[in-house]
Structure 1
Amino acid sequence: MMASLQRWINEVAAPEHEAAEPDLRLATAVLLCEVVRSDYRIEEVELGLMREQLQQQFQLSGEQLDELMIMARQEAESAVDHHRFVRELRDHWGYDRRVDLIQQMWALAWSDGDKDALEEHRIRALADLLHVSHSDFVRTRMVEQNRAAIRNSDD
């Protein structure tokens, strides 16, 4: 795993790509990680859901998922801003796929049973940067809020 991580770091740091473009998997993982860490509490239930979301989207092996989760966390913690990740997704994904990503963010925010105002603020900012309409921002929030309410009523 460390050899793969080092290989990836070397590729990103290659001189021919001074400002190397992130791949779509890393861009997605970093933005999801931003939501997970936005309330200053990283909870296992959130990390587990994030892992599931990435697995479903990209069909990665367990080792690849581990690497992606580590890289995403490192990028989220060290990046000055996340515009390069947002731009990558905005440039390569259609509108519906970006809306789906916002819905995944809401699922993460509600996964621990409670949405924090800081999570909502971060999702709102990312939705704006991803050019997702306010109506879709609200609609996806309501879908995930209702799912959380159903989950909590079953407990």
Structure 2
Amino acid sequence: MLEQIKAWLDTTEPQPTTPCKEVAISTLLGEVMLADGHVSANERQLAEKLLARLTKQTPERVQELISHTKAQQTDAVSLFKYTSELKNLPIGEREDILYALWRLAFSDHTLDIEEEALIREVAELLYIPHGRFTWLKAQAQENNQT
């Protein structure tokens, strides 16, 4: 009997320990959206648009990702858990994610200290150089004003 249990344990597939790219991006967008304590309809719409662009998913899949993210938001979010899936992406994709986070933070025309701190931490975990971090911030701020 012990041999059967051991054989069963050896054949079960290990569960992934890191979320998929799409879930990671959705979670990071959700965290930035919630960082200042309030979420506007404009922020929600922009988050959906950014998520669709970054993940290249259908509107239905984007809604599924958002629902999954909302269900997880009651748990404490470890940014490391989500960025570990993304840090191996090409630098251009990582910068696109960071730019999207900046766009979302500036969407309410106010950058809160909590939003900036969160995005700064994500940038460090994604190994984005500080010069690019500040450039992406400036680009998002400029594009938000036009």
**Offset at residue 19 of structure 1 (A):** 5.2
Could you say which residue in structure 1 is the equivalent of 2:9? Answer: none
How do 1:74-85 residues align onto structure 2 when only pairs under 5 Å count? 74-85=71-82
CA distance 1:136–1:52, change in 2 (3 Å): same
1:124 and 2:120 aligned: yes
Could you say which residue in structure 2 is the equivalent of 1:37? Answer: 34
Q: TM-score, normalised by structure 1?
A: 0.79
Which consecutive unaligned segments of at least 5 residues does structure 1 have?
Answer: 1-14, 151-155
Is contact 2:94-2:128 (8 Å) kept?
A: yes
Instruction: Quote the Cα distance in structure 1 between the aligned partners of 2:18 and 2:71.
Output: 16
Q: Could you tell me which of 124, 129, 137 is aligned with 2:133? A: 137
How many residues get paired? 135
Instruction: Quote the Cα distance in structure 1 between the aligned partners of 2:22 and 2:56.
Output: 11
Structure of higher CA gyration radius = 2
Which consecutive unaligned segments of at least 5 residues does structure 2 have?
Answer: 1-11
SS of 1:78's equivalent in the other structure is coil
How do 1:54-73 residues align onto structure 2 when only pairs under 5 Å count? 54-73=51-70
How do 1:2-17 residues align onto structure 2 when only pairs under 5 Å count? 16-17=13-14
**Offset at residue 56 of structure 1 (A):** 1.8
Percent identity for Structure 1 against Structure 2: 27
**RMSD of the alignment, in Å?**
1.7
Could you say which residue in structure 2 is the equivalent of 1:87? Answer: 84
**Offset at residue 62 of structure 1 (A):** 2.8
Q: TM-score, normalised by structure 2?
A: 0.84
Instruction: Quote the Cα distance in structure 1 between the aligned partners of 2:51 and 2:25.
Output: 8
1:24 and 2:21 aligned: yes
